[in-house]
Every structure is written in C-alpha cells, then in structure tokens.
Amino acid sequence: MPTTAAMLTPAFVLAFWTFLVLIRVAVVRIGAAQCGEIVPDDFCHGESERVPRHVSIPNRNYMNLLELPVLFYVVSLMVVVTRIASPAMLGLAWAYVVLRLVHSLVHLTYNNVLHRLAVFAASNVVLLVLWLLAALALLG
C-alpha cells in the first residue's frame, strides 16, 4: 500500500504548479500594464474584451487549475484519510497530475485547441477512474 506521503505528493505537485501559473499571471499582467497594453479598469468585472490574448490565457489556465482539480484534491484526501490507497490509485493520481501539467504547457505555449482538448479529456477520464476505484473500495 502506498504511504500517506506517496499518495499526497501528486496533490502537492499540482498545487505547486498552480502557484507557478498564478505567478505567471501576475508577471504577464504587470508586463502588459507597463507596456500600456492594459489598465486597471480592464479587470473591474473580470477581464474586459480589451485584454490581449497573451495576457488572458495564463489567467484562463489558472482558472482551469482551480476548477476540476478540486475533485482531485478531494479524492486524494479521501483516499488517504480512509486508508484505501492502492498502487493503482497512486498511478492514476500521478497520471492525472502529469496530464494537467501537459494541458497547462500546451495552453501556455503553442495553444493548439485539439491537443489541449485531448489531454484535458484524458485527464478527466483518469480522474473519473480514480473516483470509481475510491468508491468501489469504500462502498464495495
């Protein structure tokens, strides 16, 4: 059985990555403000249409990292607290994190929508399987 540390390490890695993307959001916005591409009013009600793509994409990626990954954090904690961790669950947790990192890298670099969608869909399937394994272990 995987240890608590082993099972939580993928969650720590994804959280750390989320903070790195948040730092990128700040750096890109500050740079754009210094160049006069954006002004504070562009963010009064979220991002206005005047915000350039290269400024909005890191923020969109950051929001992606705060949406569905919440379910990953919940299942990771559930698996640890209930002591049902298995090698398969640990493998799925790492697969999910790797896929989310790849999704971010695609989004933040060349941003091919089809590539992004494929990685996003794969990560969602992995997360669903992780939840199913947890449910079977707890309820079955």
CA distance 60 to 41: 18
CA distance 131 to 53: 35
Tell me what the mean pLDDT of segment 90-107 comes to. Answer: 98
> What is the value of pTM for the model shown?
0.94
Which helix (H) or strand (E) element contains residue 84? none
Tell me what the mean pLDDT of segment 23-31 comes to. Answer: 96
Domain that includes residue 50, residue range: 4-139
According to the model, what pLDDT value does residue 72 have? Answer: 98
* Whether the predicted pLDDT of 110 surpasses 90: yes
According to the model, what pLDDT value does residue 109 have? Answer: 97
Name the residue among 123, 121, 122, 130 with its Cα closest to residue 87. Answer: 130
Q: What is the pLDDT of residues 48-64, one digit of tens each?
A: 888 999 999 999 999 99
According to the model, what pLDDT value does residue 1 have? Answer: 86
Q: Domain holding 23: CATH number?
A: 1.20.120
Name the residue among 114, 79, 72 with its Cα closest to residue 94. Answer: 72
According to the model, what pLDDT value does residue 53 have? Answer: 94
> How many domains, the chain?
1
